[in-house]
Amino acid sequence: MSASLNAAATAAPVTAVDPACAEPLPVLGRDVTVPLVTGSEVTYAALDYAASAPALQRVWDDVAAYAPYYGSVHRGAGYLSQLSTDLFEQSRATVAEFLDCRPADQVVFTRSTTDSLNLLAAALPAGCQVFVFETEHHAALLPWTDAQVTYLNAPRTSDEAVATLERALADRAPYGPALVCVTGASNVTGELWPVKELAAAAHAHGARIVLDAAQLAPHHPVSVQDLDVDWVAFSGHKLYAPFGSGVLAGRADWLQEAEPYLAGGGASRTVARRADGGVDVEWHATAARHEAGSPNVIGVYAIASACRALREAGFENLVARERHLITKVREGLAGVPAVRVLSLFGDGAPRVGVISFVVDGWNSSHFAAALSAEYGIGVRDGLFCAHPLVRTLLGSEPQAQGECGAPEAASSSGGTPALNAIRVSFGAGTPDEHVERFVRAVRELVADGAKWQYRTEQGRCVPAV
């Protein structure tokens, strides 16, 4: 492999600094300007990291350095194919190191967290029971269609979460496989879940556990061994890596015993015709068993680059700086009486940079549209693909209507209450000015109202022209 590709693998030690003075990591789009309805322009404040974080400049540079060497993976004898194959497998080792996997664990590359959890769902042994809290993102809530699923009510403390799981597991059938699925950090409230304690409870009752780390891995170190989880899933696009790649890492046995997630080239080791006209197939027992087809080598390399960049930057520094930003936002919102921040575990719960809230007298879609059109701030509104959780937090009926990404229409006169919320999220690339502008905008909108008229278009609130 060329020296330019190897150079990214080393970096100088990082020294802890005052989070208030630390610079954000360079990301793509940090200098992009967007038009406002007033006719002026402003630097875009990307505060929707929980949906897709901007790519790190370091990741983009690494991908650009590799692009001329692009070749087929696991297929060709040529130099570029061999180099790309080496890069692909080295990326697998980088991800395993990033996650502190056990020596026998497999790292399977997928399209996303959703794809990873659906892969695991397809690999469950017959008769497997699945336990999942209603607070999960739909990616973790919905894939278990072929299993016996127990949905657990939303806990209001970390201790209650552990106790709820222990009771459910104690009541299950004493034999047969079982799996617990839990998030590491909520994509709605940002609150950290007691993963290590939940893993201990699962194992004490003969169950396994999979960690949805989509919102945790970009903000905190994730150690498979320390947390003692059986699998972990995450997405590259939330880890500051572009392109559609994800990871499922963990124990190999269930994956090796399952039918391939996709049937085709790459997953098959040998294929032979039978005398009766049929086909005999021997499938790979390695991660390749579930990676049929030509892999997304650029997406995989981008994930590995992001893993290296975060480790080199030092999670201690990243966490300290993010707490500094969280404090700015939470203290700012606390000073606006009309704002109610949504929380399961209370104000003192540890969290990542994900905060959801509602504003009295405002439809959340209208409020988010005004933040964008009048201040150049990008946030998310709706139910965040976690409908049961948001309904619980808003105190609505479990069957109340609402759509992910297209909430109930808002009026132009300030909006009416609806079953949706606003989410602001940030991370390693967020400058102080973005969160300061956000807090100022919230105060001004609540105090003075929107300066523009808005209308509904295809379920979205947009500026009227």
Residue with tokens 């109202």: 449
Pairing type for strands 41-43 and 208-212 reads unpaired
Using DSSP, state whether 322 is helix, strand or coil: helix
Active site residue 385: yes
- Using left for φ > 0, alpha for ψ between -120 and 50, and beta otherwise, residue 74 falls in left
Helices (H), 67-181: 79-98, 113-122, 138-141, 158-170
Question: What does the alpha-carbon distance between residue 306 and residue 285 come to, in Å, rounded to a whole number?
Answer: 28
**Which residue is catalytic, options 21, 385, 404, 461?**
385
Question: What does the alpha-carbon distance between residue 368 and residue 364 come to, in Å, rounded to a whole number?
Answer: 6
79: exposed, middle or buried (Cβ count in 10 Å: 0-12, 13-18, 19+): exposed
Report CA dihedral (78, 84, 88, 93) to the nearest 10 degrees.
90
Say how many residues make up the chain.
Answer: 465
Residue with tokens 């699923």: 149
Structure token digits, residue 307: 């893993």
DSSP assignment letter at 431: -
Structure token digits, residue 88: 């692909």
**Catalytic site residues?**
385
